[in-house]
Structure 1
């Protein structure tokens, strides 16, 4: 099913200690994550990540595949360093390392200038909260996006369910309209056969007995009734509609089952049309196939 979710995380100005555990570190950059999905028979994941976030792809993929089973899903991530208000103090290890490197450089290049505060901040900006330490924050952000996406897909699923239930009710109504047409048509055809045989006997030379003619007419009428009988088709159609309604109420991973049942509905509607011997039955068959085709298009969107 289709869906879209976008979440952001703004940095908070906190000091990061050298030995602080990764789970307690607050990202210094503004993090943004978008997840969008469109219909697909299988799960197709694609990631649009900056180069410095490529190492997050396996973790994000694992997190998504555990919760989303179908759809063409696209994930976009962005990381904005923000303005100076989000600057954090360099950790002690980074400062010690820079000081040691500066001393070594001065031993070889005595005339090299001293590092300024701006130089130190620039050198430590990329190391104060490396992506590896922010992975927990990224995964937490991804989980928020996945939850929002699943909520959006659930709302769409509820709308699709309401639509399908409405189509089921319309198909039931059409089936009820078709049921009484067959007995009426059989009786009309029986009377028509009898009238034709009577007309034929009136023109005959009397070599055939009226009783035999009447039996022949009844036999023809019976054969005609068998050819146009759609009671079995209507019974199977109602059974398929009951099963679809049951699956919609149950929920879960029902897309493939619904797709199969829709095919069976279309088969029964086609048979109604092929057996039709009256214009009204043809109209009912056409109306059924229109509704079933609309259901087929939407059923493929259901996970």
Structure 2
């Protein structure tokens, strides 16, 4: 099944009329989903649409979403509505001018709305730009999702290799000569002999000490729990989806069992296996931090 990383980048760009535009989004690790938005003034609404699209498609990660617009520097071409200007001048001429009121001037008439018109069609341009920006968001989100999935496919291979190495080390610990009954018995006998040399111990106390030593030497439970965690991780990887939090929890549990294995190991070979296991668990923990 699909496994996604929280790391990715996508860009969607185009040109609408004289305007060049570009959406960009960068995604990195995060405990939850946080989409931060940066758009030019007046484009907050389309920015919120883009934010909503990301929130619907992603489960975790910190995303930096931005929109850049570039417009030409040339001033727009204008024309004078001569018919309207003539009508205004004729109407003013027919109206008696009150005493003390200055006559109408050309610059005053040109300032009246509608007398000066632009050759551009801002309404149509804005509508076309909004349409293209919305289409760009669709491409942007799809590309980011695919980028995160591509990273997830690479991550999956690394994580599966780490789980296989941990399983191998666990099997090596299982077969370690130090865990054989005769080796455990010899260590217990040596420990009991040391206790006896230290002074007189009553039989009950000696029995208690022997039981404690035997329990400390037994790593059966740790090995069984490690195997159970490996199985749980394999099931999560098979299910896919947003499993990063669960894998992170398993990494903590694996680390706990590896630490206990090292603490209980009273043999150099078993200690080395435990230390190697701890190193791989730490690498595993670092990798699953990237999983959505």
Aligned to 2:24: 34
Alignment match, 2:169: 174
Q: 2:35 aligns with which of 38, 45, 54?
A: 45
Q: Distance in 1 between matches of 2:228 and 2:253?
A: 10
Aligned to 1:265: 254
Question: Are the counterparts in 1 of residues 21 and 70 from structure 2 also a CA contact under 8 Å?
Answer: yes
Describe how 1:49-128 pairs up with structure 2 within 5 A: 49-82=39-72, 102=85, 106=89, 109=104, 111-112=106-107, 120=117, 123-125=118-120, 127-128=122-123
Aligned residues: 263
Quick one: which of 272, 276, 284 aligns to 1:295?
284
Describe the SS at the equivalent of 1:73: strand
Greater relative CO (CA pairs within 8 A, separation 6+): 2
Tell me which of 6, 20, 24 is aligned to 2:11.
6
Q: Which runs of 5+ in 1 are unaligned?
A: 12-26, 202-212
- Normalising by structure 1, report the TM-score: 0.73
Contact 1:186/1:224, CA 8 A, preserved across alignment: no
8 Å contact from structure 2 (residues 178, 269) kept in 1: no
Give the alignment's TM-score, normalised by structure 2: 0.76
2: distance between equivalents of 1:196 and 1:289? 28
Residues 255, 281 of structure 2: 8 Å contact kept:
yes
Give distance in 2, aligned partners of 1:291 and 1:285: 10
In structure 2, how many angstroms separate the alpha carbons of the residues matched to 1:100 and 1:65? 53
SS at match of 2:122: coil
Q: Distance in 1 between matches of 2:187 and 2:59?
A: 60
Question: What is the CA-CA distance between 1:278 and the residue it aligns to?
Answer: 0.3
Q: Give 5+ residue unaligned stretches, structure 2.
A: 1-5, 93-103, 197-202
Deviation per residue, 1:211-249 (Å, 9 max, x gap): xx9xx9999766543321111111110110111112112
Aligned mate of 1:240, from 229, 241, 245: 229
